[in-house]
Amino acid sequence: MGLKEGKKATIGIFDSGVGGLSVWRELVKILPYNNFIYFSDSAYCPYGPRPQEEIIERACKITDFLISQGADIIVVACNTATAAAIEALREKYTLSFVGMEPAVKPAALHSKTGVIGVLATKGTFKGKLYSRTLQKFASDLRVVEQVGYGLVELVEAGKTSEEDTSKILGQYILPMIALGADHIVLGCTHYPFLRDEIQKIAGDNVIIVDPAPAVARHTFELLSEKNLIGKEQTDSLHQTVFYSTGNIENLVRMARRIQQSLPDECFKEKLI
C-alpha cells in the first residue's frame, strides 16, 4: 500500500514511549492540517536493552495497528527502533517509513574543535546506520560516545529538570566538554526533553543537535511530492489520537506539555 496522490495523509508515529513526542512536536508545526496517530509502546520501554528480534516484532505489530487505523505513512520516531527494525519494515510493507537519522553529519560539518559528543542508547550505537553515518561524515573527527543510561526512564516519569536528573546528565556531558566537544548530538528522541538541562551543563558555546526538525522536513517533502499536505483553505487543524500500551498518564502529561488543549478523549490505552 503506497501513498495515494491528492488526499490528506494521516501520519502514524511510534516510539518505545513518550520520546517520539519530540518528533510529533516538530511534525505538527510543519504539517498543521494533517492528522496524526501516535503510538507509545510504554509497556516495552525502554527498547535499548532489548534484542533486535523483539524490537522488530514490536515494530511490526505496531505498524499493523497503525495501518488498521488509517496511517498512510509511518514515522519511526525512535532511534533504537530505526536502527533495529526499519530495514525489516521496509522489506515487509509497501508503506513509506521515515526513520531517525543520527544527526552526526551537521555536527561534524560545523565543528570547529574537531570533537563532537553523541549521547544515545546502546541499541543506536550498535546499529549499522550509525556506523555508516560515522564513517561517512566523522572519520576525521574525535567522536565521544556516551550511552544515556537511565535517561529514557527519567523522561518517561516526567523528571526532566530535577536535581537528580541534572547530576546524571553532568556525568555524561562534562567529560565530552572536557575533551573539547563543541557539538552534542541527541541520539534518542527522549533526550530533547532534557535539552535545557543539557545546555545548562554544556554552556552556551556548545551546540545541541536535535534531529527531529530534519525528520519533520523529510516527512513534509515525501508528502509534498504526492500532494498529501493538508491545506489551510480546505482542511481543519490537525487532530492526533494517542495510544499507549502502558501507563497512559505519562503520555497525557508529556503531550500536554507541548499542547495544553488536548482533550481526554484523544488518549486511549491499547494492548497489542
| Active-site residue list | 78, 188
Mean pLDDT, rounded, for 163-183: 96
- What value does the mean pLDDT take over residues 202-228? 94
**What average pLDDT does this structure show over 106-122?**
95
Q: Do 143 and 178 sit in the same domain of this protein?
A: yes
pLDDT at 3 over 90: no
Mean pLDDT of 212-221: 96
The pLDDT value recorded for residue 48 is 85
Task: Give all strands of the β-sheet with 10-15 in edge-to-edge order.
Answer: 96-98, 73-76, 10-15, 35-40, 240-244, 267-269
CATH number at residue 30: 3.40.50.1860
Instruction: Judge if 190 and 261 occupy the same domain.
Output: no
pLDDT of residue 120: 94
Residue in the block written with cell 546502546: 122
User: Residues 21, 88: one domain?
Assistant: yes
Domain finish residue from 192, 210, 228: 210
Q: Find all residues with CB under 8 Å of 232, minimum gap 6, and list them.
A: 32, 33
Asked whether the predicted pLDDT for residue 237 surpasses 90, the reply is no
Q: What is the pLDDT of residue 1?
A: 44
Is the pLDDT reported for residue 236 higher than 80?
no
The verdict on 146 and 205 lying in the same domain is: yes
Averaged confidence pLDDT in the chain = 93
Q: Which residues pair with 120 in a beta bridge?
A: 147, 187
| pLDDT higher than threshold 80 for residue 100 | yes
Query: What's the count of helices (H) and strands (E) in the chain, helices before strands?
Result: 11, 10
pLDDT above 90: percentage of residues in the chain: 84
Torsion from C-alpha of 257, 262, 264, 265, nearest 10 degrees: -140
Q: Are residues 87 and 221 in the same domain?
A: yes
Both 69 and 131 in one domain: the answer is no
DSSP-based three-state secondary structure for 77? coil
Helix residue spans in 185-227 (DSSP H): 195-202, 212-225
Residues 52 and 174 grouped into a single domain: no
Question: Does residue 73 form part of some domain?
Answer: yes
Query: What pLDDT, on a 0 to 100 scale, did the predictor assign at position 6?
Result: 57
Asked if residue 131 and residue 54 are part of one domain, the reply reads: no
Residue 112 sits in the same domain as residue 206: yes
Categorize the per-residue pLDDT at 4 as very low, low, confident or very high, splitting at 50, 70 and 90: low
Higher pLDDT, 14 or 237: 14
Q: How far is CA 72 from CA 17, 35, 84, 100, 211, in A?
A: 21, 10, 22, 18, 22
108 & 234 share domain: no
Residue 120, domain member (yes or no):
yes
pLDDT at 2: 52
Tell me if 142 sits within 8 A of 114, measured CB to CB.
Answer: yes
Structural domains counted in the chain: 2
Q: What confidence score (pLDDT) does residue 53 get?
A: 96
Same domain? For 224 and 90 the reply is yes
Which of these three, 187, 210, 233, is where a domain ends? 210
Ramachandran sector of residue 16 (left: φ over 0; alpha: ψ -120 to 50; beta: rest) = alpha
d(CA 110, CA 76): 27
Give pLDDT, residue 262. 93
pTM for the whole structure: 0.92
Do 78 and 131 share a domain, yes or no? no
**Domain-located, residue 3:** no
For 70-90, how does the pLDDT look when each residue is reduced to its tens digit (9 = 90+)?
A: 999 999 999 999 999 999 999
Residue 2 belongs to some domain of the structure? no
The distance from CA 187 to its chain's CA centroid, rounded to whole angstroms, is 9
Instruction: Report if residue 4 sits inside a domain.
Output: no
Residue 179 included in any domain: yes
Higher pLDDT, 102 or 229: 229
Q: What is the mean pLDDT of residues 18-32?
A: 96
Residue 149 confidence (pLDDT) above 60: yes
Residue 135: which domain range?
104-210
Average pLDDT estimate for 128-155 = 94
Give the dihedral sign, CA 128/220/213/156. Answer: negative
